[in-house]
Amino acid sequence: MPIRKEVFIKNYIKALNNGDAAVFAGAGLSAPSGCVNWKQLLREIAEELQLDIEKESDLVAIAQYYYNKNGSNRTRLNNIIKEAFQTGKNPNVNHNILARLPVPTYWTTNYDKLIEKSLENNGKICDVKTCCANLTTTLKGRNVVVYKMHGDVDHPEEAVLIRDDYESYSQEKRPFINALSGDLMTKTFLFIGFSFTDPNFSYICAHLRTHLKRNMREHYCFLKDIFRDDCEDESEFEYEKRKLSYFIDDLKRFNIKTVLIQEYSEITEILRSIKRIYNSRTVYISGAAAEYEPDGKDAYEKFISKLSSRLICEGYKIVSGYGLGVGSAVISGALTEIYYDQKMSLTDQLILRPFPQGEDAKKLWETYRRDMISYSGISIFLLGNKEENGTIVMSNGMRSEYEISKEQGNFLIPIGRTGYMSKELWEDLLREKQDDHTFDIYRHDIESLGDSKKALDEIVELVIGIVKKVK
């Protein structure tokens, strides 16, 4: 019996919050980026062996046969790996969503470098383990570890490919077996794009089950359901459905629970849901001011400080770009609450990313904004003006952050009461949502955020109320 998607999402988010979530990636994760699967990788050499790759299920044997035929020389096999995986492939949407989640541990049987590339693109310091010697070193400042248990495209001669490699794995790669065994006991894995046919993985799971019996940690995987249109006739459909059911039940022996999907695109939507729900506890504050009408600078600074403090008090994390005339108040309010409650950690509750300065640095601001906003699920907009040539103008940077937030699926809270660009965005949002009935539970409160007669303290409580409704 598969597990419901809602249950999986809830449990995996819990693992993310606890810091013990992990990912195990197979070839299916890289397929949308144009990377070949094993059948495609070995098709040419199968033809040379006069074998039909479509009729073969033991693909490791195909590689071994070719190795044997060539006098135990694997140069051609090494070149095949290089040619297949050293091309200009880019991470796909699933790579990028995963990279933005706080997953500290990745395991993969893939030779490509897409996982580490996506992590680095998202500002992660990635410690990659491709051989046993790597396991004894630690990259300074790392926040994610990628274990490539079958090797890497840069060293194809050491890649696990032929049957000889698999048969000697338990001896020559024992440290990898020990490391993976430890992670399977202490972390909650999501298996994505993995077929569970790898003999090394099966060996590790069987070994753990022998020792742990019915006390194995819970893990999850994605499997595609079987439909009538996938099969030639009714009998094949019934056969494949039956086989899938048995396979799902068999995975339960290792406490791996299946999330059954109808289309592979569903994986992306599930991952997006995980990111959205996880990030709903993180708030991005967008604001800048050179002018503070009509309430005055002191009043607005107290308002911003109180809002930040209340967000931290309610258990939310704040991300801020340290906007002109606003950033100090955000920090002040956040720090007041963090230091008041000594159980809180500064690094866990507040992410500060001051914008780099200088004409050349401004070219990076769009990328910088996207990176900051990607950590959050809610975006708050307040004030929004700047001085240009002695004149107060609207902040185009805030407009840009509004559009990025909308694009990334953040919940938008422009505080129209604070005027300037935030008022324009408030008007835009209400206009965009006028026929959206799913917005009705927020509509009255959002409308009230533009009421100039409301005291700023009232606005704080309105914002907190809206934030707490967001799921």
Judged by DSSP in three states, 213 sits in coil
Annotated catalytic residue 150: yes
pLDDT in tens, 297-323: 999 999 999 999 999 989 898 888 777
23 pLDDT band, cuts 50/70/90, is very high
The CATH classification of domain 5-35+89-276, taken from the options 3.20.20.60, 3.40.50.1370, 3.40.50.1220, 3.40.50.720: 3.40.50.1220
Decide if pLDDT at 423 tops 70: yes
Decide if pLDDT at 356 tops 80: no
DSSP for 205-251, please give it: HHHHHHHHTT-PPPEEEEEEPP-GGGSSSHHHHHHHHHHHHHHHHHH
pLDDT in tens, 385-399: 999 999 999 999 999
What average pLDDT does the chain have?
A: 90
pLDDT in tens, 35-57: 988 889 999 999 999 999 998 88
360 pLDDT band, cuts 50/70/90, is low
342 pLDDT band, cuts 50/70/90, is low
Q: What is the pLDDT of residue 341?
A: 66
Provide CATH code, domain 281-469: 3.40.50.450
pLDDT in tens, 99-138: 989 899 999 999 999 999 999 988 789 999 999 999 999 9
pTM: 0.81
463 pLDDT band, cuts 50/70/90, is very high
The helix/strand count (H/E) of the chain reads as 20, 14
Decide if pLDDT at 188 tops 90: yes
DSSP for 84-134, please give it: HHSS-----HHHHHHHTS---EEEE---SSHHHHHHHHTT--EEEE-SGGG
Domain pair 5-35+89-276 / 281-469, same fold: yes
What pairs with residue 148 in β-bridges?
108
Annotated catalytic residue within 150, 155, 207, 437: 150
What pairs with residue 339 in β-bridges?
none
276 pLDDT band, cuts 50/70/90, is confident
Q: What is the pLDDT of residue 361?
A: 56
30 pLDDT band, cuts 50/70/90, is very high
The answer to whether 380 touches 413, Cβ cutoff 8 Å, is yes
Q: Where are the domains of the chain?
A: 5-35+89-276, 281-469
Rounded to whole angstroms, what are the CA distances from 313 to 147, 278, 341, 382?
Answer: 38, 18, 8, 20
Q: What is the pLDDT of residue 425?
A: 98
Decide if pLDDT at 212 tops 80: yes
Q: What is the pLDDT of residue 329?
A: 86
Rounded to whole angstroms, what are the CA distances from 378 to 235, 274, 283, 416, 449?
Answer: 50, 14, 5, 16, 16
Q: What is the pLDDT of residue 415?
A: 97
238 pLDDT band, cuts 50/70/90, is very high
Distance CA 84, CA 107 (A): 20
344 pLDDT band, cuts 50/70/90, is low
Distance CA 112, CA 105 (A): 17
Work out the percent of the chain whose per-residue pLDDT is above 70.
Answer: 95
Q: What is the pLDDT of residue 399?
A: 95
The structure tokens 């979530």 sit at 21
Please list, in sequence order, all residues whose beta carbon lies within 8 angstroms of the beta carbon of residue 134, skipping any fewer than 6 positions away.
Answer: 128
